[in-house]
Chains A and B, each alone.
Chain A
Amino acid sequence: MENSRRNFLKIAGISALGLSATPVLDAFALDISMLDMKINATPGKDAITAKRWGMVIDTRKFESEEDLKPMIEACHKIHNVPVLENKRHEIKWIWEEEFKHAFPNLEHEYVNESVEHLPFLVLCNHCKDAPCVRACPTKATFKREDGIILMDFHRCIGCRFCMAACPYGSRSFNFRDPRPFIKDINKKFPTRARGVVEKCNFCAERLAVGQQPACVEASKGALVFGDLENPESEVRRLLKTNYTIRRKVALGTGPSVYYIV
């Protein structure tokens, strides 16, 4: 909080209240309201399935920041991602980074101009051997059969071990109640309570009803989603015919998001 100093003056008042239980009860109430909107990502009869989902991002198709906006907005809108002014409390599932931040170990002083100035789309890599899953003490972060790394917002205790473990900065924490910062709430997807972690879910809830991920749909073909273990799939065809890179492969996490540069 930027205005923490002013708020500090409130301490005197609050400590006078001593062990007032109101905030605690408040916190419980929020939890319960969240249960109503439990995420429904269980595959239905129209579901599209895969052995291991992956994504190929053709960065050659983007020319400016503007080109990335529709995808970011589509995702953040349907997933009730709040817009927080305070940078420190920011929540993002998919966003843009400069090359040197997205690929810090590939950056060099003579990198070609298009790459240097081109914004890169980054999101959770749904790692094959995900450090966040390994670190989570409650299995609130877990790997589904099809390789998607999912989160149970109701089980998460907010220890943020997963955030320390993720080498890609893919995770955000609800430092405060996000609901006042969501413009139009999408009733079909849960909002989160304060105190839990969240991140991209590869649109598990859309795959369950046979839809492509929201960003892919909004990408006009620049993003391709498919089964990495099916040699006939579109993603495999792209990987076979293009040179691709992944983020921080040296760490052995096995990212499932590939970039054509």
Chain B
Amino acid sequence: MLELALKGSKRYFGWIACLLAVIGVGVGCYMWQLSFGLGLTGMSRDVSWGFYIAQFTFLVGVAASAVMLVLPYYLHHYKAFGRITILGEFLAVASVSMCLLFIIADLGQPMRALNVILYPTPNSILFWDMIVLNGYLFLNIIIGWQVLQAEKNSVAPPKWVKPLIYISIPWAVSIHTVTAFLYCGLPGRGFWLTAILAPRFLASAFAAGPAFLILLCLLVRKLTKFDPGKEQIQTLAKIVTYGILLNVFFLLCEVFVVFYSKIPEHMDHMTYLYAGLHGHGVLVPWMWTSIALMIFSIILLVNPFTRQKEGILTVACICVFIGTWIDKGLGMISGGFVPSPLHHITEYVPTKPEIAITLGIYAVGFLVLTLLFKIAITVKEEAEGV
């Protein structure tokens, strides 16, 4: 089936060329980072994780959200999703690939990355994160590929795939839970030290992931002869609605606990993010934009009349995606480091090379996504005889 990715229109190859150009700049900057060190980024002694780890966290969520298609289809026999589960799985593959690249980009000594396997350390959550992420990547590649191959040959997928599919459901939850555990088990980091972090991560994932999938479905319908289906998109829209509602609800729970208890170690970070602390507040406008976008999207999504209009739904999905991205991809990580455990305020702003590397990795993800979607959709077009 791989050969299907090699045939395409001018527009298809043009898009790929664009992605390759962005990847090229990213690779160049990464080489620079390798030779200079992570000092090239905006990170510091106080804010020791930045943009890379934040993108990683956000994308783990997008990856996990594939379960929102797999679960209704395989466990509840919601047939409509059969048409598009493959899109969710391939989105997961692209997202996890980006996650792994972001981790590598963040390492000070990437050549030693294998030490995590050579000296397995089960008490470290990072060890488990490596296992669940790689496992999830392979599960989705195998499942996606087998199911698609079967569809191409108009036969049922091999029997051994079924158990893998069932395993992939809790596995999806695990990747985001373990990723949250990276942060919420650390003493002295009051912003993350909350049991609701994993649920909150999952809620924002189940909003952002399906929202992105809706946008992809609409794009696929526009660009190809395959229609993911109106019903499918509407069901996804309901999932996004619940996801974003839960996410905002969890955030409000957090706000209550933090500001009612008034424990400084927990409160200071929130204050920094949403109001600024001792005159520092680069993220304040961003965080309020995020809140505004999430609330605006809720208004559009909860109302069935607006939700059912695909034009408005598109706007809502973009709002959900950007809103949750700011929340997680911008505020969540650096917010936990400001103020520092010694109550110093060092702010974090990514540098241009850091952003170029980030965009490069996103371009790799989009490249993987494009190739996989091209294959899947060509198979589907042929199967439908259009």
Q: Is B281 an interface residue (CB 8 A)?
A: no
CB under 8 Å from chain B, chain A span 62-111: 86-91, 97, 100-102, 104-105
Give bound CA distance, A253 to B45, whole Å. 21
Cβ B29 vs Cβ A11 within 8 A = yes
Q: Is B44 an interface residue (CB 8 A)?
A: yes
Q: Is B109 an interface residue (CB 8 A)?
A: yes
Q: Is A189 an interface residue (CB 8 A)?
A: no
On whether A161 and B109 interact (CB within 8 A), knowing A11-B25, A100-B343, the answer reads: no
Cβ B124 vs Cβ A161 within 8 A = yes
The interface stretch among A19-27, A48-56, A215-223 is A19-27
Q: Is A128 an interface residue (CB 8 A)?
A: no
The DSSP consensus for interface residues of chain B is helix
Cβ B111 vs Cβ A27 within 8 A = yes
Q: Is A196 an interface residue (CB 8 A)?
A: yes
Q: Is A15 an interface residue (CB 8 A)?
A: yes
Q: Is A156 an interface residue (CB 8 A)?
A: yes
Residues of the B chain whose Cβ atoms lie less than 8 Å from the Cβ of A251: 187-188
Cβ A160 vs Cβ B49 within 8 A = yes
**Interface mask (B333-370 → A, CB under 8 Å = 1, otherwise 0):** 00011001111101000011100100000000000000
On whether A14 and B31 interact (CB within 8 A), knowing A164-B189, A175-B37, the answer reads: yes
How far in angstroms is the closest Cβ of chain A from B190? 10
Give bound CA distance, A139 to B117, whole Å. 11
Cβ B126 vs Cβ A135 within 8 A = yes
Residues of the A chain whose Cβ atoms lie less than 8 Å from the Cβ of B346: 87-88
Give bound CA distance, A200 to B108, whole Å. 19
Q: Is A47 an interface residue (CB 8 A)?
A: no
Residues of the A chain whose Cβ atoms lie less than 8 Å from the Cβ of B109: 31, 156-158, 193, 195-196
Give bound CA distance, A226 to B265, whole Å. 33
On whether A164 and B35 interact (CB within 8 A), knowing A88-B346, A97-B342, A104-B342, the answer reads: no
Give bound CA distance, A252 to B187, whole Å. 9
Q: Is A45 an interface residue (CB 8 A)?
A: no
On whether A89 and B115 interact (CB within 8 A), knowing A15-B29, A196-B108, the answer reads: no
Give bound CA distance, A20 to B28, whole Å. 9
Considering the complex, give the chain A residue whose CB is closest to the CB of B268.
A104
Q: Is B24 an interface residue (CB 8 A)?
A: yes
How far in angstroms is the closest Cβ of chain B from A246? 14
On whether A136 and B49 interact (CB within 8 A), knowing A14-B31, A164-B189, A196-B108, the answer reads: no
The interface stretch among A1-9, A203-211, A228-236 is A1-9
Cβ contact of B340, chosen from A157, A161, A169, cutoff 8 A: A169
Q: Is B39 an interface residue (CB 8 A)?
A: yes
Cβ contact of A138, chosen from B32, B106, B119, B341, cutoff 8 A: B119
Q: Is B253 an interface residue (CB 8 A)?
A: no
**Interface mask (B167-199 → A, CB under 8 Å = 1, otherwise 0):** 000000000000000110011110000000000
A interface, CB within 8 angstroms of B: 1, 4-5, 7-8, 10-11, 14-20, 22-24, 26-28, 31, 86-91, 97, 100-102, 104-105, 122, 131, 134-140, 155-161, 163-169, 172-177, 193-197, 248, 251-253
